[in-house]
Structure 1
Amino acid sequence: MARPSSRRIPAVLWTWYRGGNFRGFQRQVEGPTVQDALEGALGRAGSPATVMPSGRTDRGVHARMQVISLRLPEDVPPEALPARLAPHLPPDVGLCVARRPPGAFHAQWSASGKEYRYHLTLGAPPPEAWRPYALDVAAEAALQPGHRVTPERLEALLARAVGTRDFTAFHERSSPQKPRTLQTATLRELGGGLFEVRLEGAGFARYQVRYLVGSALKVAAGLLSEEQWRAALDAGAALAGFKAPAHGLVLWEVRYPSAVDPFGPDERLHPPGLPDAPPFTGAPPG
């Protein structure tokens, strides 16, 4: 009888998850984590492997598109993994696409940019389906007592953050202090008082999105001055900001140069197997 091949070849996964029941992506002594769930499912499906993500997400953060590099036995077809892993994954984790990547691809090092989306409500509690995935601004203790936050004010403050700077006032010191480019920062209305902050950039430091959104809300509520906001952005001046809660944040998309992108434009627009439910529904492109 022929022995199974021990040769391993690269594969790439597009995974999604709701992060509320996990202690982040990366394996930890105290779980559960998304990495635990994926590697456990791979092992139980007979294809044990170590997964390498495009980047870590923190406890409670969700992902519509987390990209994973791994190496599989050459006799395991990646395209079979979504169906093969489904019975072994918890309900809050799934796969959209699995395939061989083009060329010398790495989920993290090949990435050219990411988009994050943060969901919140202004002037109304979140709709029931969105309650676990959106910040109720009016009820947030860190924003009391403050003025009512208007969409126009919040969007103007976020737009002021666009550009290349070190963002040192808006991330943990554990992340390298270096220039980072925030390419876009927009606010979209989803209806019923629900809004979506969309942030696109070449790279983000730890907690950068949550500090940017939370601190912009604090300025919009009149609890910090706009002068302090500008000084923090332009000169890295210390800011008594606010780290927005994790449950509103979604890693929405990871982008790659066209020469190595494993995913087509139609897949990116309509991901196969992605739940059509919060927090993965949002404003249309554009």
Structure 2
Amino acid sequence: MNYRLTISYDGSRYKGWQRLGDTDMTIQQKLENALFEMFFEPVEVHASGRTDAGVHAVGQVANFKVDKDVTPKEIKEYLYRYLPDDIVVTSVKKVDDRFHARLNATEKTYVYKIYNDFYHDPFLRKHVLHVQEHLELEAMKKAAAYFVGEYDFSAFTTAKSKKKSHIREIKSIEILKSGHEIDITITANGFLHNMARKIVGTILEVGLGNFKATAVPGIINDRDRAKTGTMAPAKGLYLYNVKY
């Protein structure tokens, strides 16, 4: 049987999604450990994407296959009981055997959260980026608009990226402010390694007055990583939704 999971997690204390050989502090490892205890056999969990250390998720999607036929309710309740409190499987469904969480994904949405005030909020400090300086919202929106479309995003990934093609289509970027909180929501057909954080970092540079919004097309076209803004910290990034 093939099961599809929707997972929410606070990534603050984890080394990212992907299983690592020297620690069990990854989201994948915690899930696989719990499923091993449930099914008494090794279970490999495939995610829609490998979130980095410190990155959170509201709607990560994953799947796994086992020979046993159990109800989605049984799996959901077992995982809720045995996973750490900062990982919650919010949905479990039986799906077609051909479904693969990463290979079948057609669109992903990330949200980056910023707290823009001189004083930080102590309750949000692990889950948002605190920016003391005033951010010019309209300039940020102008910069964001230049990213929308299909481009080669080589400048907005890291050397670790092994993707053969760096061409991705950003379908929308929305920037909304409520009180001191600013959300940058990016939807694309796919993301390169660190792409969302590099884009946010560049938009922040514009908001701080360090770049002009009109510099963005040149940065994209030059494909020069050195010209982008500082990569935004992981703690403000959330994988919000995955579409199939």
With the length of structure 1 as denominator, give the TM-score of the two structures: 0.78
Q: Match for 2:107 among 106, 113, 132?
A: 113
Deviation of 1:124 (Å): 4.5
Cα–Cα, structure 1 residues 124 and 165, in superposed 2: closer, same or farther, change >3 Å?
Answer: same
Deviation of 1:212 (Å): 0.3
C-alpha contact 2:59 2:239 (8 A) present in aligned 1: yes
Deviation of 1:226 (Å): 4.1
2:65 corresponds to 1:71: yes
Looking at CA atoms only, which structure, 1 or 2, has the larger radius of gyration? 1
Secondary structure, counterpart of 2:69 in structure 1: coil
Q: Aligned Cα RMSD in Å?
A: 1.8
Counterpart of 2:208 in structure 1: which amino acid?
A
Higher strand share: 2
Deviation of 1:228 (Å): 3.9
Cα–Cα, structure 1 residues 237 and 85, in superposed 2: closer, same or farther, change >3 Å?
Answer: closer
Deviation of 1:255 (Å): 0.3
Q: Distance in 1 between matches of 2:213 and 2:224?
A: 13
C-alpha contact 1:27 1:34 (8 A) present in aligned 2: yes
Counterpart of 2:201 in structure 1: which amino acid?
G
Counterpart of 1:157 in structure 2: which amino acid?
A
Match of 2:33 in 1: 40
Higher deviation after alignment, 208-217 or 233-242: 233-242
Cα–Cα, structure 1 residues 252 and 126, in superposed 2: closer, same or farther, change >3 Å?
Answer: farther
Match of 1:223 in 2: 210
| Mapping for residues 190-269 of structure 1, pairs under 5 Å | 191-226=178-213, 228-238=215-225, 239-256=227-244
C-alpha contact 1:231 1:237 (8 A) present in aligned 2: no
Counterpart of 2:44 in structure 1: which amino acid?
T
Match of 1:11 in 2: 3
Deviation of 1:174 (Å): 3.1
Q: Distance in 1 between matches of 2:142 and 2:129?
A: 19
Q: Give the paired residue count.
A: 239
C-alpha contact 1:120 1:137 (8 A) present in aligned 2: yes
Q: Match for 1:149 among 118, 135, 144?
A: 135
Note the alpha carbon deviations across 1:208-267, whole angstroms, 9 max, x for none: 0000001111132122344543311233244152100000000000001xxxxxxxxxxx
Counterpart of 2:70 in structure 1: which amino acid?
V
Cα–Cα, structure 1 residues 188 and 240, in superposed 2: closer, same or farther, change >3 Å?
Answer: closer
What stretches of structure 2 of length at least 5 have no aligned partner?
A: none
Q: Match for 1:28 among 20, 33, 56?
A: 20
Counterpart of 2:204 in structure 1: which amino acid?
L
Secondary structure, counterpart of 1:252 in structure 2: strand
Match of 1:122 in 2: 116
Higher deviation after alignment, 77-86 or 217-226: 217-226
Higher deviation after alignment, 78-87 or 121-130: 121-130
C-alpha contact 1:15 1:94 (8 A) present in aligned 2: yes
Match of 2:170 in 1: 182
Higher deviation after alignment, 101-110 or 177-186: 101-110
C-alpha contact 1:65 1:252 (8 A) present in aligned 2: yes
Match of 1:158 in 2: 144
Secondary structure, counterpart of 2:155 in structure 1: helix
What stretches of structure 1 of length at least 5 have no aligned partner?
A: 1-8, 139-146, 257-286
Counterpart of 1:247 in structure 2: which amino acid?
K
2:176 corresponds to 1:171: no
Q: Distance in 2 between matches of 1:17 and 1:47?
A: 25
Q: Match for 1:100 among 82, 94, 102?
A: 94
Deviation of 1:66 (Å): 1.1
